[in-house]
Structure 1
Amino acid sequence: MKWSKLSLTTLIVLMVGLCAQNCEAQQKKKPAAQAFQWVNPLPERFKSDRLEHATFVSSSMKREVGYCIYLPEAYSESQQSAERFPVVYYLHGGRPGSELKSIGLVPLIDEQISSGKVAPMIYVFVNGGPVSHYNMPDREQAMGEDVFIKELIPHVDGKYRTIAKREGRGLEGFSQGGRGTARIMFKHPELFISAAPGGGGYETEKKISENDGYENPHLRFTPGYNTWDLAREYAKSPEPKLNILIHVGTKGFNYENNLAYMEFLDSLKIPYSKVIVPEAPHSAKVIYEKRGMEIMKFHEKKFAVARKGR
């Protein structure tokens, strides 16, 4: 078939137009990533009597850092008393994320506590820094772990009626926050009575362990600063005893490497419990919808001793 110059030109124009429309549609589906910020105000739709956004001044960075805090109804009702409450620190997924990343869990958390199924506890949603929950000494204002451990925890214990000791403090997170939870629990077992890492990318952490700290050619962590090497170090002297609950969905893309990491913990004789959620994708919210009460009960059980002595 012979094409005239006119029809060929028309065809080219049509193809370019379709390509442009397709590219525009793809751009709409994938909005540009938002730049990292240490303070991210709470959107109006999330504001409630139970959830508030607050900040503190980081002494190391000389700037404000944001966090979100869930306070159960019992906390407000006991304002005139000296009653204190245990705290779960929740580490968000994503890189970077923010203190807002995981607050979609709050209605599910509040439902269990307000119904009396789980004893009242505070949840603090942490801002993990520009490389979520890692310390990055070679970058300015990027010591996410230290800001959490050395600054946020003392601030929360000073401002709110918490049980300010290991027996009243839990740690939890999902995805990138699951990795952070596992690293931090092995690095700071003296700070948390319970730790519940969820959906962590342990295959990536293993790569970091095996490649002198490199996650990729452009990102390197301090050698030994990963969930594999820190677990090995803890196993040499497993004190104080860690209470660990690993949770993951069978349809999540990190499911297989969570199974491999559990086998690794078995080889080190590090005990743990697990919640494996059939058909659940890589989603903390779906896991909480299906089995969240079990995760919360895990923390509650470990807090029991502290509650008796408060």
Structure 2
Amino acid sequence: MSINHIPVKTLIVALLFFGLRSNAATVDTALTYSAAMHKNIKAVVVKPDDYSTSKKFPTVYLLHGAGGKYSDWVTNVPDKQTVQKLADLYDIIVVCPDGNVTSWYFDSPVDPAYKYETYISSELVTYIDSHYATIKDRSKRAITGLSMGGHGALYLAFRHQDVFGACGSMSGGVDLTPFPDNWDLAKRLGKYSEYPKRWEENSVINMIYLLTPDKLAITFDCGSSDFFYQVNKNLHEALLEHNIPHDFTVRPGAHTWEYWGNSINYQMLFFSRFFKK
């Protein structure tokens, strides 16, 4: 489909309700263990105000960007209560894992200490489903993130459609190949000049072949002044070419927390609609 915008009226009603409810979400810091990497890894877990083990909740996994950490989404957004309020509003559990600064959320073919695809898609999901009152089904599990995390969310969802039913990206680095000297990518994949196939195979834009129409609910957006704008536009056009339904939105903005703090509202509304189907 073409560029899609969530109806303004719908968002206004949601945000009005959002403002009327008292924010009572709780924020846990979970210490999880990765057998694949032989280490403990922290994750923020945001539980909605009516959380109870007698009720089951959908889950959204929310990934940070390069240079960031697990706590970014509850400390760096201009309104630091944004994620908590959204957890309350949509009655969901939000999980913010640690991606170790520049993991790019895949299993590195170069460094065995970086197996973040295995960690998030298997180990972390298993831990969360075992320790929290989640609905253990792909139809009630989504993943999104910003920048590196936007790449990671689409990467993980495309490759693990049995785990995630919906996915999103905000300002995502959805094609790695234009950036051979940035964000420690060469440390994770080897130099682009020596291993171009690795870079291409690990870029989201080259994973569309994994998709079938309507199997995944997909939403992604990017600011018109963002350095990742062109690669996101290219992904949108490639999805159109392959007849893969998706929402793609362009808004004014750059690669900033101000942009992501706004974008997350639309992404959570998209996931809430998916969970209610």
Task: Normalising by structure 2, report the TM-score.
Answer: 0.77
Counterpart for residue 123 of structure 2? 151
How far does residue 273 in structure 1 lie from its aligned partner after superposition? 0.6
Aligned structure 1 segments of 4 or more residues deviating by more than 6 angstroms: none
Deviation string, structure 1 residues 252-282 (Cα, Å, up to 9, x no partner): 221122112211111111110123222x211
Structure having the higher helix fraction is 1
Deviation string, structure 1 residues 47-100 (Cα, Å, up to 9, x no partner): x9621211122222332111111111111xx35xx2011110011110x53212
SS in 2 for 1:216: coil
Indicate how the Cα distance of structure 1 residues 91 and 190 shifts in structure 2: closer, same or farther if over 3 A, else same: same
SS in 1 for 2:118: helix
2:39 is equivalent to residue 63 of structure 1: yes
How far does residue 207 in structure 1 lie from its aligned partner after superposition? 7.2
2:170 touches 2:260 (CA, 8 Å); kept in 1? no
2:91 is equivalent to residue 120 of structure 1: yes
Q: How does 1:121-200 map to 2 (within 5 A)?
A: 121-129=92-100, 130-200=102-172
Tell me how far apart the structure 2 counterparts of residues 61 and 257 of structure 1 sit (CA, whole Å): 31
1:66 touches 1:99 (CA, 8 Å); kept in 2? yes
RCO comparison, higher one (Cα < 8 Å, 6+): 2
1:137 touches 1:143 (CA, 8 Å); kept in 2? no
Counterpart for residue 248 of structure 1? 222
Counterpart for residue 225 of structure 1? 202
Report the number of matched residues.
241
Give the letter for the 1:110 counterpart. Q
SS in 2 for 1:74: coil
Counterpart for residue 242 of structure 2? 268
Tell me how far apart the structure 1 counterparts of residues 202 and 264 of structure 2 sit (CA, whole Å): 29
How far does residue 217 in structure 1 lie from its aligned partner after superposition? 4.4
1:89 touches 1:125 (CA, 8 Å); kept in 2? yes
How far does residue 203 in structure 1 lie from its aligned partner after superposition? 4.0
SS in 2 for 1:128: coil
Structure with higher Rg: it is 1
Deviation string, structure 1 residues 23-50 (Cα, Å, up to 9, x no partner): xxxxxxxxxxxxxxxxxxxxxxxxx962
Indicate how the Cα distance of structure 1 residues 240 and 151 shifts in structure 2: closer, same or farther if over 3 A, else same: farther
SS in 2 for 1:258: helix
Tell me how far apart the structure 2 counterparts of residues 160 and 193 of structure 1 sit (CA, whole Å): 19
**Unmatched 5+ stretches in structure 2:** 1-23, 181-188
Picking from 222, 228, 233, the partner of 1:259 is 233
SS in 1 for 2:149: helix
Superposition CA RMSD, Å: 2.6
